[in-house]
Amino acid sequence: MKDILGMVADLSRPKLLVQAARFGLEDYRRDSRLPRLLQQERVPGPGAATMALLALEGRLNDERIAKSAEYSVARHVDVLIALMGETQLLRASSKQLRAIT
């Protein structure tokens, strides 16, 4: 079984979606974005948030591939921005843990 960072690394999405998400990453604020995206009052930790975002992004990607009328490219980019932001937090915390041990 892969770890969370491995699952994120395995994602393959259209270049334009990824570029748009990277562009928005600078303005990512987890305290305001995560409750809205995940429809939760509390902001989960980076691991739980990443898992929830992976599931949400997977559903959005399925809608994109199916050319569903409900698909929103703006929402997909928003979720990808959050996923990238949470991944950065996970990587940073992972490095800190390795430095301590």
Mean pLDDT by groups of 10 residues along the chain of 101 residues: 80 95 94 94 92 96 97 97 95 68 55
- Is the pTM higher than 0.85? The answer reads yes
pLDDT at position 95, please?
64
Q: Three-state SS for 53?
A: helix
> Residue 46 and residue 42: Cα distance in Å, rounded?
12
Could you tell me which of 79, 93, 75, 65 has the C-alpha nearest to residue 5?
Answer: 93
- Reading the block at residue 32, the tokens are 């305001």
pLDDT at position 1, please?
47
pLDDT at position 5, please?
83
pLDDT at position 98, please?
61
How many CB atoms are closer than 10 A to CB 47?
A: 15
